[in-house]
């Protein structure tokens, strides 16, 4: 099958984005498309696949996100901004409610973070601390700045679902080897964490600035994860590191977002939705391979505008 898509990114979290409103594919087929298009060894590559879907009585449009291993995530907030832009442009909107896999989110066109950087504000939640819903068997109903003994009895985590599950640990300095080790344990779907989880190390970098590094479920070590930045902001507020209702800058390897967590557990992110190029490829659904790539156009001005922001954030 032949598919058209846009290669895009939110804060460096990159994806092929497909308008799936008129496509009739099964969940398994979408998983194969995700594996084909997001394969870093293939012609496109990405952290996963974004799909713009039709709306319903409660939402103007919907979003599905498939990880690079073909599994479907509950949400992806960096990806949501990109899907929001696609939905806005397709339907002539500047704000909307979006249907996610297990929840809804609100999105709106926002003032650009910098000249030429298309920016979307998104609000998701409420974040929940009920680990039984994951499920996570850590010996407690909630985990806030406390160990998860099966993972590491000596490191403190906060367990937050928004709605996908995150284990957040605040560190003086990110040790990527340790992050990968812990993330790999979770990725194996042990009996105490059968649906896996995202794992993030978070550094405080002065007043109202955080740096987040994430081992993402179904992806691995990633330059950016929007829901991890949201979960980390909420966890920082729970831990007294950041005040509820206060804007913070959340940095990552891909750039930054502005974030704010409220006491009602709703979290708002404002960040980029950058188009890089538009193209199409042939998908072999049986073998999950993409080929015969053609690129219709490159969005050089958008790429350059975001590069200036990312360089300044480093």
- Expressed in angstroms, the distance from the first to the final Cα of the chain is 41
Q: Is 186 a catalytic residue?
A: no
Provide the 10 A C-beta neighbour count for residue 289: 18
Task: Report yes or no: 174 and 211 within 8 Å, Cβ to Cβ.
Answer: yes
Residue 36 backbone dihedrals phi, psi, to 5 degrees: -70, -50
- Helix axes 77-91 and 226-238, enclosed angle (nearest 10): 120
- Phi then psi for residue 39, to 5 deg, are -60, 120
Rg of the chain over all Cα atoms, to the nearest angstrom? 18
- CB distance 68 to 218 below 8 Å: yes
Residues 6+ apart with CB under 8 A from 35: 68, 69, 70, 288
Phi, then psi, of 79 in degrees rounded to 5: -70, -35
Find how far residue 18's CA is from the centre of its chain.
16
Instruction: Catalytic residue, from 76, 82, 186, 237: name it.
Output: 76
Does residue 135 have a cis bond before it (omega within 30 degrees)?
A: yes
Cα separation, 118 vs 209, whole angstroms: 22
Q: Establish whether 225 is a catalytic residue.
A: yes
- Cα separation, 272 vs 252, in Å, equals 13
Q: Go through 26-60 and write b for each residue having 16 or more CB atoms within 10 A of its CB, e for each that does not.
A: eeeebbbbbbbbbbeebbbbbbbbbbbbebeeebb
Question: What's the CA gap between 242 and 227, in Å, rounded?
Answer: 17
Alpha carbons within 13 angstroms on the beta-carbon side of residue 14 total 19
Catalytic residue among 8, 82, 186, 225: 225
Active-site annotation, residues: 76, 225
């Amino acid at each position: 099958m032949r598919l058209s898509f846009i290669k895009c990114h939110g804060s460096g979290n990159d994806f092929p984005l497909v308008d799936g409103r008129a496509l009739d594919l099964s969940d398994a087929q979408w998983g194969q498309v995700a594996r084909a298009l997001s394969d870093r060894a293939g012609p496109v590559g990405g952290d996963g696949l974004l799909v713009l879907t039709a709306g319903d009585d409660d939402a103007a449009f919907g979003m599905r996100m498939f990880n690079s291993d073909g599994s479907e995530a509950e949400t992806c907030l960096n990806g949501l901004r990109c899907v929001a832009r696609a939905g806005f442009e397709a339907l002539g909107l500047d704000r909307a409610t979006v249907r996610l896999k297990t929840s809804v989110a609100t999105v709106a066109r926002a003032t650009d973070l910098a000249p030429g950087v298309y920016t979307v504000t998104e609000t998701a939640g409420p974040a929940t601390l009920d680990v039984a819903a994951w499920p996570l068997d850590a010996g407690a109903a909630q985990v806030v700045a406390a160990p998860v003994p099966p993972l590491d009895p000596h490191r403190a985590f906060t367990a937050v679902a928004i709605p996908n599950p995150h284990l957040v640990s605040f560190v003086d300095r990110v040790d990527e080897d340790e992050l990968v080790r812990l993330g790999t344990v979770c990725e194996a779907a042990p009996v105490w964490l059968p649906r896996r989880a995202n794992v993030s190390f978070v550094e405080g970098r002065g007043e109202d600035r955080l740096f987040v590094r994430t081992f993402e479920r179904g992806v691995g070590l990633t330059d950016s994860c929007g829901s991890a930045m949201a979960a980390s902001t909420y966890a920082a507020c729970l831990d007294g590191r950041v005040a509820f209702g206060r804007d913070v800058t959340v940095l990552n390897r891909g750039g930054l977002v502005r974030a704010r967590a409220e006491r009602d557990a709703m979290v708002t992110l404002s960040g980029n939705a950058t188009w890089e190029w538009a193209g199409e490829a042939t998908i072999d659904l049986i073998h999950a391979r993409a080929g015969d790539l053609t690129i219709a156009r490159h969005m050089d001005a958008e790429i350059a505008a975001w590069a200036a922001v990312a360089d300044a954030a480093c």
